[in-house]
C-alpha cells in the first residue's frame, strides 16, 4: 500500500514536470480562478463592512416634551429595551443635549451668545434608538407614535427620515443580491474554466491512459497520478495568486480607507493572511482534485 502510494505520487510529480507546458498553462488558468475567488472573498467582506457602516449611521430619536419627567422617560427606555428588534437605547437628558450642542457649536459665537441670553434650556430630552435591522425602524416608530405615548412624545425623527431609510434599505437589499449573484456567477465561471482546462490536459493524455489500461494498470495507478497533479496545480496556483494580491492590496488600501474610514483592507488582509491563504489552497486543491477525478473518469470506462 505504501509502495503503491509512493509510486502514484512519483508518477504525478513526473507527469507534472514532464508535461511542463501543459502544467504551466493549467496553473495559469487556476491562478486566474483563484484570483477571482480571493477577490470575491475580499469584495464580500468589503461590501459587508460598507453596508454595516451605512446601517450604523441610521438611528431614530424620540424627543420628549419638556414637562415629562426623567423617570417617565427612563421607564419608556426600559420598556423599549425589552424589544427584540432593538439593539440599544441611549438616553440624552436635556442637560446632555445642551452640552453636546454647545460643544458642537463652540466656535460659532452667535449661537453661543444666543444660548447665554436664554433663561431656560430650549433643548428636549430624547432617546436615541438603534434597531438591529433597518426594516425594524418602522415598527418601532409605530409604537412610539401610538396614542398611549401621545402626551409624552414631542416628535419622532423617523417620519422625517423615513424616505431616506426606506431608500437605503432598498439599495442595500439590491446590493446584497447583486453581490450574491456576481459571486455565484464568477464562482461558476471560474470552476467551469478550470474544469475544462484540466479536462483538456487529461484529454491530451487519452491515448496514454489507454496504454496503461492495456498493460494491466489498475484504475488507482491511472487516476492517482492525475489527482496528485491536481494537488500540485492547486498548491502552486494558490501560492502565486496569494502573492499577486499583496501589492494589489497595498496599492488599493489607501483609496478604500478614504471611501470607508472603518475599513483598512491592508490590515484585514495581513491579520487574516493565514485564513485567506488556507481558503486559496483548499479551493485550488479541491478544484484540481475534483476536476481530475471527473475528467479521468470517462477514460476509465470500457
Helices 219-259 & 158-203, crossing angle to 10 degrees? 150
Closest CB to another protein among 148 and 302? 302
* Binding pattern for the stretch 217-256 against another protein, x by CB under 8 A and - elsewhere: xxx-x-----------------------------------
Residue from the set 2, 3, 110, 118 that interacts with another protein by CB under 8 A = 3
CB 274 → another protein: shortest distance, Å?
Answer: 36
Neighbours of 6 (CB within 10 A): 10
Per the CB < 8 A criterion, the answer to whether 213 and 301 are in contact is no
Q: Decide if 85 contacts 143 (C-beta within 8 A).
A: no
- Binding of another protein by 163 (CB under 8 A): no
Query: 136 or 229: whose CB is closer to another protein?
Result: 229
Q: Which stretch binds another protein (CB under 8 A): 39-47, 85-93, 182-190, 204-212?
A: 204-212
Going by C-beta distance under 8 Å and a sequence separation of 6 or more, which residues neighbour residue 269?
42, 245, 246, 249, 276
We find the least distance from the C-beta atom of residue 284 to another protein, in angstroms, to be 23
Name the minimum Å distance from CB 216 to another protein: 4
Let me know if 111 is exposed, middle or buried by CB neighbors in 10 A (0-12, 13-18, 19+).
middle
13: left (phi over 0), alpha (psi -120 to 50) or beta: alpha
Q: Which of residues 14-53 bind another protein (CB under 8 A)?
A: 14-15, 18-19
Indicate the residue among 82 and 216 with the shorter CB distance to another protein: 216
Strands across the sheet containing 86-92:
86-92, 126-131, 60-64, 153-156
Interacting residue ranges for another protein, rule: CB under 8 A: 3-4, 7, 14-15, 18-19, 207-208, 210-219, 221, 300-302
Amino acid at each position: 500500500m505504501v509502495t503503491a502510494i509512493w509510486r502514484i505520487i512519483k508518477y504525478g510529480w513526473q507527469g507534472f514536470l514532464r508535461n511542463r507546458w501543459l502544467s504551466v498553462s493549467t496553473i495559469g488558468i487556476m491562478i486566474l480562478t483563484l484570483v477571482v475567488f480571493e477577490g470575491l472573498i475580499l469584495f464580500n467582506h468589503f461590501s459587508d463592512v460598507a453596508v454595516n457602516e451605512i446601517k450604523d449611521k441610521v438611528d431614530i430619536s424620540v424627543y420628549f416634551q419638556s414637562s415629562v419627567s426623567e423617570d417617565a422617560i427612563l421607564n419608556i427606555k426600559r420598556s423599549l429595551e425589552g424589544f427584540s428588534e432593538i439593539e440599544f437605547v441611549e438616553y440624552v437628558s436635556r442637560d446632555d443635549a445642551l452640552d453636546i450642542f454647545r460643544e458642537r457649536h463652540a466656535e460659532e459665537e452667535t449661537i453661543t451668545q444666543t444660548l447665554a441670553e436664554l433663561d431656560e434650556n430650549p433643548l428636549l430630552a430624547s432617546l436615541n434608538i438603534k434597531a438591529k435591522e433597518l426594516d425594524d425602524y418602522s415598527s418601532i416608530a409605530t409604537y412610539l407614535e401610538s396614542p398611549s405615548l401621545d402626551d409624552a412624545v414631542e416628535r419622532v425623527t423617523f417620519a422625517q427620515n423615513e424616505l431616506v431609510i426606506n431608500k437605503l434599505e432598498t439599495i442595500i437589499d439590491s446590493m446584497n443580491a447583486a453581490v450574491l449573484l456576481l459571486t455565484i456567477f464568477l464562482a461558476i465561471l471560474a470552476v467551469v474554466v478550470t474544469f475544462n482546462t484540466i479536462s483538456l490536459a487529461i484529454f491530451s493524455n487519452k491515448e496514454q491512459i489507454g496504454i496503461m489500461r492495456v498493460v494491466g494498470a489498475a484504475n488507482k495507478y491511472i487516476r492517482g497520478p492525475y489527482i496528485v497533479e491536481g494537488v500540485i496545480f492547486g498548491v502552486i496556483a494558490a501560492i502565486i495568486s496569494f502573492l499577486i494580491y499583496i501589492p494589489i492590496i497595498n496599492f488599493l488600501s489607501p483609496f478604500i480607507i478614504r471611501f470607508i474610514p472603518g475599513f483598512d483592507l491592508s490590515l484585514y488582509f495581513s491579520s487574516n493572511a493565514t485564513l485567506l491563504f488556507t481558503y486559496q489552497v483548499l479551493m485550488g486543491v479541491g478544484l484540481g482534485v475534483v476536476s481530475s477525478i471527473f475528467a479521468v473518469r470517462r477514460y476509465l470506462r470500457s
